């Protein structure tokens, strides 16, 4: 409904708890913001692995009786927003197979950039794929492994994939968690009594009353069984590339990801934005919910009052999530309503975390002006999104990203704001603080830390032009970081 980048998945695993399925259900509930198209849970009771998956929200997919059927002391669960593989039940996770190593269920957050090549090779070798999901590649590699133990077969199969992955695998008697050596996606490790929990965000630990012990480290494989928890580091270290957009938008503000409070980082983004883009105004209004933390930081630093000038309807369901442009526009009105008493006659600083295509921003600015605002000054708590993501985030092609094809002034005119400003890349990195070199910022810089997938050309052609363009700017064309469409024509 909103013109946003979408996280692909959230994952949750628990080992050794009598209510494993129920706790997985609750954990997925807390991670619902990471994917709303499908949900699934697998459980293991020491003898066999079971699974149930369905399309829709966690609460739609699981009933009390369904959870009761998911017997076992261990479980993994998944919520999905699909891009790698289309939105179909067969692509929902966990994926469960039975092979020479026994039953294994897998769920994955991220995107495997060499999945296409591996899949082609496996098909040529006789593999038959059931889904279009990149995750299934890992299972085929696992099933073909001649390694002597399940654990070694998992490590061998994961060692062949590249890209972004936080992955959980469940056998009848083991829970295995692995994170790619770049650490693109978060993965937290927690404890609830004697049970171990592994999940995308710490908000899932909070909900079930578990303690956050530490994060699964980049490149680490954690093996949990009745013998306890063992950590292995089988892969060579790589440059860290935590997804900075987890802090900007994806993760819940009550979570800690990459060792930092999302709320604190997000509020600092707002403070930083106020330092960089201050303007005379009367009130700071967030686009809820994602703009709230940054708006509070902006208000704090600017000295302007923070007011909820837009009210969000939290009960709008998936019914309205439609691909058609017309429905998407209608959806904004369904989801947000302006508060006239706050906006009328005011000069409004409107805070949002990103502009993707610009269509929603335009609708919201119009809505605020229609409610009587005198001026609307749009402020974005991250740099312009100029390039697609290949590491587990649903991004439109570069040609659809408004900041990739328009100047700042063109975007301002399109969204009909009185002024528009983005946070600088330096400001974004300053807000994440001490570990700034450990972050991926590719969607703002078009500088990718890991190789592209085989079919990336269709997404990246314009990106390569942008890089040429950025070089031209660096050589003296000025400060404009939003290349003009005519400049692209010159580069062509
Ligand atoms: S390209 Fe952007 S969204 Fe993708 S991993 Fe990097 S920072 Fe995150």
Look at residue 329 in the predicted model and tell me its pLDDT. Answer: 52
Q: Is residue 319 over pLDDT 50? A: no
| From 53-67, 82-96, 215-229, 315-329, the region with the lowest mean pLDDT | 315-329
Cα Rg of the chain, angstroms: 23
Contacts with 149 (C-beta within 8 Å, 6 or more apart), sequence order: none
Tokens linked to 237: 């270290």
Instruction: Compute the distance from residue 399 Cα to the ligand 1 centre, in Å.
Output: 17
240 lines ligand 1 (CB under 6 A): no
- The residue among 400 and 348 whose pLDDT is bigger is 348
Task: Report d(CA 172, CA 48) in Å as an integer.
Answer: 5
389 lines ligand 1 (CB under 6 A): yes
Task: Report d(CA 286, CA 306) in Å as an integer.
Answer: 8
Task: Report d(CA 379, CA 215) in Å as an integer.
Answer: 33
Instruction: Give pTM, 2 decimals.
Output: 0.89
Look at residue 353 in the predicted model and tell me its pLDDT. Answer: 94
Whether the CB-CB separation of 311 and 339 falls below 8 Å is answered with yes
Indicate which atom in ligand 1 lies nearest the CA of residue 388. 1
Tokens linked to 355: 């502009």
Instruction: Compute the distance from residue 89 Cα to the ligand 1 centre, in Å.
Output: 26
Q: Percent of the chain at pLDDT above 70?
A: 86
Question: Which residue CA neighbors atom 8 of ligand 1 most closely?
Answer: 243
Task: Report d(CA 316, CA 336) in Å as an integer.
Answer: 10
Instruction: Compute the distance from residue 349 Cα to the ligand 1 centre, in Å.
Output: 27
257 lines ligand 1 (CB under 6 A): no
DSSP SS3 for 456: coil
Question: Which residue CA neighbors atom 5 of ligand 1 most closely?
Answer: 243
Whether the CB-CB separation of 215 and 187 falls below 8 Å is answered with yes
Indicate which atom in ligand 1 lies nearest the CA of residue 5. 3
Look at residue 43 in the predicted model and tell me its pLDDT. Answer: 98
483 — pLDDT class (breaks 50, 70, 90): very low
Q: Can you tell me which residue has the tokens 């890991």?
A: 450
393 lines ligand 1 (CB under 6 A): yes
Instruction: Compute the distance from residue 433 Cα to the ligand 1 centre, in Å.
Output: 18
| From 17-26, 43-52, 309-318, the region with the lowest mean pLDDT | 309-318
Indicate which atom in ligand 1 lies nearest the CA of residue 246. 8
Catalytic residue of the set 9, 203, 243, 389: 9
**Tens digits of residue pLDDT in 417-439:** 999 999 999 999 999 987 889 99
How many residues does the structure list for the chain? Answer: 492
Q: Is residue 6 over pLDDT 90? A: no
Residue 416 phi, psi dihedral angles, 5° rounding: 65, 35
Active site residue 243: no
Task: Report d(CA 223, CA 228) in Å as an integer.
Answer: 8
Task: Report d(CA 293, CA 299) in Å as an integer.
Answer: 10
Instruction: Compute the distance from residue 242 Cα to the ligand 1 centre, in Å.
Output: 8
Task: Report d(CA 349, CA 346) in Å as an integer.
Answer: 9
Task: Report d(CA 307, CA 284) in Å as an integer.
Answer: 6
441 lines ligand 1 (CB under 6 A): yes
111 lines ligand 1 (CB under 6 A): no
- Mean pLDDT of the region 323-342: 75
DSSP SS3 for 123: helix
440 lines ligand 1 (CB under 6 A): yes
Instruction: Compute the distance from residue 62 Cα to the ligand 1 centre, in Å.
Output: 31
244 lines ligand 1 (CB under 6 A): yes
Q: Can you tell me which residue has the tokens 């592209």?
A: 452
245 lines ligand 1 (CB under 6 A): yes
Mean pLDDT score of the chain: 88
Look at residue 223 in the predicted model and tell me its pLDDT. Answer: 98
Question: Which residue CA neighbors atom 2 of ligand 1 most closely?
Answer: 443
| From 41-55, 113-127, 196-210, 298-312, the region with the lowest mean pLDDT | 113-127
Q: Is residue 131 over pLDDT 90? A: no
487 — pLDDT class (breaks 50, 70, 90): very low
Q: Is residue 374 over pLDDT 70? A: yes
Question: Which residue CA neighbors atom 4 of ligand 1 most closely?
Answer: 389
**Tens digits of residue pLDDT in 134-192:** 899 999 999 999 999 999 999 999 999 999 999 999 999 999 999 999 999 999 999 99
Q: Is residue 352 over pLDDT 80? A: yes
Buried-exposed string 179-198: b where 16+ CB fall within 10 A, e elsewhere = bbbbbbbbbbbbebeebbbb
Report which listed range, 77-86, 387-396, 406-415, 474-483, is most confident.
406-415
Look at residue 132 in the predicted model and tell me its pLDDT. Answer: 85
95 lines ligand 1 (CB under 6 A): no
Candidates 7, 240, 393: which one to mutate for ligand 1, based on the most atoms within 8 Å of Cβ? 393
- The residue among 131 and 342 whose pLDDT is bigger is 342
- Mean pLDDT of the region 298-322: 82
Q: Is residue 376 over pLDDT 90? A: yes
| Order of strands, sheet of 74-80, starting from the edge strand that comes earlier in the sequence | 49-55, 38-44, 74-80, 9-15, 195-199, 188-192, 211-215
| From 7-16, 53-62, 144-153, 344-353, the region with the lowest mean pLDDT | 7-16
243 lines ligand 1 (CB under 6 A): yes
**Tens digits of residue pLDDT in 69-92:** 999 999 999 999 865 556 678 889
Instruction: Compute the distance from residue 445 Cα to the ligand 1 centre, in Å.
Output: 10
Task: Report d(CA 329, CA 367) in Å as an integer.
Answer: 12
Instruction: Compute the distance from residue 446 Cα to the ligand 1 centre, in Å.
Output: 10
DSSP 44-104: E-SS-EEEEEEES-HHHH--HHHHHHS-SSEEEEEEE--SSS-SSGGG-S-EEEEETTEEE
Whether the CB-CB separation of 372 and 309 falls below 8 Å is answered with no
Look at residue 475 in the predicted model and tell me its pLDDT. Answer: 31
Whether the CB-CB separation of 109 and 200 falls below 8 Å is answered with yes
DSSP SS3 for 486: helix
């Amino acid at each position: 409904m909103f013109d946003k980048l979408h996280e692909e998945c959230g994952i949750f695993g628990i080992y050794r708890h009598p209510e494993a399925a129920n706790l997985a259900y609750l954990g997925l509930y807390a991670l619902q913001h990471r994917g709303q198209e499908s949900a699934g849970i697998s459980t293991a009771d020491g003898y066999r692995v079971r699974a149930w998956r369905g399309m829709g929200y966690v609460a739609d997919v699981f009933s009390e009786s369904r959870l009761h059927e998911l017997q076992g002391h261990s479980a993994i669960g998944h919520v999905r927003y699909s891009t790698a593989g289309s939105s179909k039940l067969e692509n929902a996770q966990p994926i469960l197979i039975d092979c020479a190593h026994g039953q294994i269920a897998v769920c994955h957050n991220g995107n495997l950039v060499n999945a296409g090549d591996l899949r082609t090779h496996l098909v040529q070798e006789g593999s038959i794929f059931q889904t279009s999901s990149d995750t299934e590649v890992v299972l085929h590699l696992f099933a073909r492994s001649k390694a002597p133990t399940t654990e070694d077969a998992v490590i061998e199969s994961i060692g062949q994939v590249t890209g972004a992955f936080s992955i959980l695998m469940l056998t009848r008697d083991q829970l295995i968690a692995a994170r790619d050596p770049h650490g693109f996606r978060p993965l937290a490790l927690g404890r609830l009594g004697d049970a171990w929990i592994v999940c995308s965000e710490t908000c899932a630990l909070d909900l079930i009353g578990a303690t956050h012990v530490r994060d699964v480290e980049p490149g680490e494989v954690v093996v949990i069984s009745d013998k306890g928890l063992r950590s292995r580091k089988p892969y060579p270290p790589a440059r860290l590339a935590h997804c900075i957009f987890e802090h900007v938008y994806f993760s819940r503000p009550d979570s800690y990801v990459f060792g930092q409070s999302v709320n604190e980082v997000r509020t600092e983004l707002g403070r930083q934005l106020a330092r960089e883009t201050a303007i005379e105004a009367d009130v700071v209004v967030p686009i809820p919910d994602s703009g709230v933390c940054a708006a509070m930081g902006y208000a704090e630093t600017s000295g302007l009052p923070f007011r909820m000038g837009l009210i969000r309807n939290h009960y709008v369901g998936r019914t309205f999530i439609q691909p058609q442009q017309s429905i998407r526009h209608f959806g904004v009105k369904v989801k947000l309503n302006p508060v006239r008493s706050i906006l009328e006659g005011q000069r409004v600083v409107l805070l949002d975390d990103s502009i993707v295509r610009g269509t929603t921003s335009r609708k919201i600015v119009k809505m605020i002006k229609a409610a009587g605002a005198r001026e609307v000054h749009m402020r974005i708590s991250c740099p312009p999104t100029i390039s697609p993501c290949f590491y587990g985030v649903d991004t439109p092609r570069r040609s659809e990203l408004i900041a990739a094809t328009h100047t700042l002034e063109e975007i301002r005119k399109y969204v009909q704001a009185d002024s528009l400003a983005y946070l600088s890349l330096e400001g974004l990195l300053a807000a994440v603080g001490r570990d700034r070199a450990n972050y991926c910022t590719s969607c703002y810089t078009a500088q990718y830390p890991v190789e592209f997938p085989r079919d990336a050309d269709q997404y990246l052609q314009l990106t390569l032009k942008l890089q040429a363009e950025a070089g031209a700017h660096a050589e003296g064309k000025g400060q404009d970081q939003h290349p003009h469409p005519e400049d692209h024509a010159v580069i062509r």
